[in-house]
């Protein structure tokens, strides 16, 4: 048989105090003091039978936290109003603590419920057994507390931490990208995903402070502004300097704002209902704007959302600077590469350029089983020309011949190089013997037409050239070193036979 753990006098009427013994009166006064203390505490307490079926006592706050009449004496009243999605787990946890219908272990519950004011709130309930000197459970004490504020604070903190984690991850992805277009596209897409807004875009400013929407991310294609050139006259007139100093523009509801009628009309035409604009400052100059907008409904922009957008704008500026530096570095490297493979005198490729290109073209033609031709050109009696007309004239002669060779080739893949001294080498990929001979013939003809005087030449009164030609389809039985060697032999033969002519190296093993 269960019994109340409270003294019988705790249930007595105050009018009967005069009839109480000193001991019972002291207990009554202790009870009154405890009741007042419990009323002031932010928690509610109750006492029940070990089987949770009989209520002995509940503090006044129970009626406030739960819709429980003061006459309630039985049942798990603390489960009143619990949300369906939490009920199953809470009931299961509570039942797990019961042993043959008696609460033997402490139970801690957190769940959502609808309170008497019809508000959804979070509640914490702890049930723990009260044992006698022998360890027998003679009652159960309950403590309840509204933890909604704590939960909201925890959720807000978790959300902020989550958002900050996302921002850091976005920043890393932005910084990893080295292409400006990819950086900008990544930024607006991540912002739109992060803030769940209708529209996010980057607006790049021009010299006249008008600008263009260069990238965007949308909830619906109906909100697109991509490529639109926007001229915000109010911004140009009043806000450029402020944005250069880091001004943030926040409008929760365009229709209820203190903006000018003209500006409200302009924003409305662009389907803007709520607007958040953060400047992107690059090298302390206003590069553009990072903008997020709601198109249909107002939105109360939160402080942490504004701060996160500012952080992203800073990351974008850093990434843009890095991308621009990379572009400059690429340009510089390209220029250096060109200088390293360019003959400074004639402005055609140098010997290094030829030595690097030959094995590459050899491999390409071998894979595709296509023709590769080499034309070697030597200016006839050039030492005598230098001795007669001087080195400046000799340099000008080589420059003129080099440019003439460039005009004689037809394809962008054909490569003219200065092979050494007064000798030039021309690589002709995908060119068979007939094509190579045609190019060589053009070279001989065009050099003759230059009519550069050469009184010491033994074959003409003008500058002439000798040409050696070799053609093959590369295959494993051949090497490009032998290929060049046979071309040299053809050039030597052209000189030996009287110069101002071309010789084609007709070696059977080199012909396809």
- Looking at the DSSP assignment, which residues form a beta bridge with residue 57? 47
Instruction: Tell me which residue has tokens 């200088």.
Output: 339
Give which of 432, 443, 376, 365 is closest to 404, Cα–Cα: 443
Catalytic residue among 261, 422, 423, 506: 422
Task: Classify the C-alpha dihedral 425-426-428-431 as positive or negative.
Answer: negative
The b-or-e profile of 123-162 (16+ CB within 10 A means b, else e) is: bbbbbebeeeeeeebebbbbbbbbeeeebeeeeeeeebee
Sheet holding 249-251, edge to edge: 229-230, 211-218, 199-205, 285-294, 274-282, 249-251
Give ∠ CA 114-68-13 in degrees, rounded to 5: 150
| Assigned token pair, 29 | 């006064």
Question: Rounded distance, CA 58 to CA 73, Å?
Answer: 9
Provide CB contacts within 8 A for 250, sequence distance 6+: 275, 276, 277, 301, 306
Alpha-carbon gap, residue 302 to 352, rounded angstroms: 62
Sign, Cα dihedral of 109, 114, 117, 119? positive
Element (DSSP H or E) covering residue 102: strand 102-103
User: Burial, 80: exposed, middle or buried (Cβ in 10 Å; 0-12, 13-18, 19+)?
Assistant: middle
The dihedrals phi and psi of 153, each to the nearest 5 degrees, come to: -65, -45
DSSP element (H, E) containing 103: strand 102-103
Of the candidates 197, 157, 427, the one whose C-alpha atom is nearest the C-alpha of residue 291 is 197
**Is residue 422 annotated as part of the catalytic site, yes or no?**
yes
Q: How far apart are the first and last CA of the chain?
A: 113
The position carrying tokens 């965007």 is: 216
Active site residues: 422
């Amino acid at each position: 048989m269960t019994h109340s753990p409270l003294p019988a006098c705790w249930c007595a009427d105050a009018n009967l105090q005069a009839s109480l013994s000193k001991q019972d009166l002291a207990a009554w006064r202790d009870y009154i003091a405890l009741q007042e203390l419990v009323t002031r505490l932010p928690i509610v307490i109750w006492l029940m039978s070990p089987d949770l079926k009989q209520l002995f006592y509940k503090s006044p706050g129970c009626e406030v936290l739960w819709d429980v009449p003061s006459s309630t004496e039985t049942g798990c009243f603390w489960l009143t109003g619990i949300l369906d999605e939490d009920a199953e787990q809470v009931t299961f946890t509570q039942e797990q603590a019961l042993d043959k219908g008696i609460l033997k272990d402490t139970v801690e519950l957190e769940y959502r419920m609808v309170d008497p004011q019809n508000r959804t709130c979070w509640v914490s309930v702890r049930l723990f057994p009260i044992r006698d000197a022998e360890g027998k459970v003679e009652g159960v004490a309950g403590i309840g507390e509204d933890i909604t504020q704590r939960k909201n604070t925890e959720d807000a903190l978790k959300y902020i931490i989550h958002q900050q984690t996302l921002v850091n991850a976005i920043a890393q992805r932005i910084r990893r990208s080295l292409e400006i277009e990819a950086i900008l596209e990544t930024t607006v897409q991540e912002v739109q995903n992060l803030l769940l807004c209708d529209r996010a875009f980057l607006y790049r400013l021009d010299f006249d402070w008008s600008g263009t929407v260069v990238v965007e991310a949308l909830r619906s294609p109906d909100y697109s502004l991509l490529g639109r050139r926007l001229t915000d006259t109010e911004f140009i007139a009043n806000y450029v300097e402020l944005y250069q100093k880091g001004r943030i523009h926040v409008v929760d509801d365009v229709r209820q704002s203190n903006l000018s009628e003209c500006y409200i009309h302009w924003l409305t035409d662009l389907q803007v209902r709520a607007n958040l604009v953060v400047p992107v400052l690059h090298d302390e100059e206003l590069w553009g704007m990072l903008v997020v907008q709601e198109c249909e409904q107002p939105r109360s922009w939160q402080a942490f959302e504004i701060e996160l957008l500012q952080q992203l704008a800073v990351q974008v500026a850093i990434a843009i600077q890095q991308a621009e530096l990379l572009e400059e570095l690429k340009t510089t490297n390209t220029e250096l590469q060109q200088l390293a493979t360019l003959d400074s005198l004639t402005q055609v490729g140098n010997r290094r350029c030829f030595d690097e290109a030959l094995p590459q073209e050899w491999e390409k033609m071998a894979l595709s089983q296509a023709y590769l031709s080499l034309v070697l050109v030597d200016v006839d009696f050039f030492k005598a020309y230098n001795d007669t007309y001087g080195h400046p004239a000799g340099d000008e002669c080589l420059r003129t011949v080099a440019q003439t060779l460039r005009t004689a080739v037809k394809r962008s893949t054909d490569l003219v190089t200065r092979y050494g001294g007064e000798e030039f080498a021309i690589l002709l990929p995908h060119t068979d013997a007939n094509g190579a001979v045609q190019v060589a013939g053009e070279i001989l003809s065009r050099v003759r037409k230059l009519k550069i005087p050469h009184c010491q030449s033994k074959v003409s009164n003008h500058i002439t050239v000798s040409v050696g030609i070799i053609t093959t389809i590369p295959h494993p039985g051949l090497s490009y070193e032998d290929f060049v060697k046979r071309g040299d032999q053809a050039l030597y033969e052209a000189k030996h036979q009287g110069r101002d002519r071309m010789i084609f190296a007709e070696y059977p093993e080199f012909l396809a």
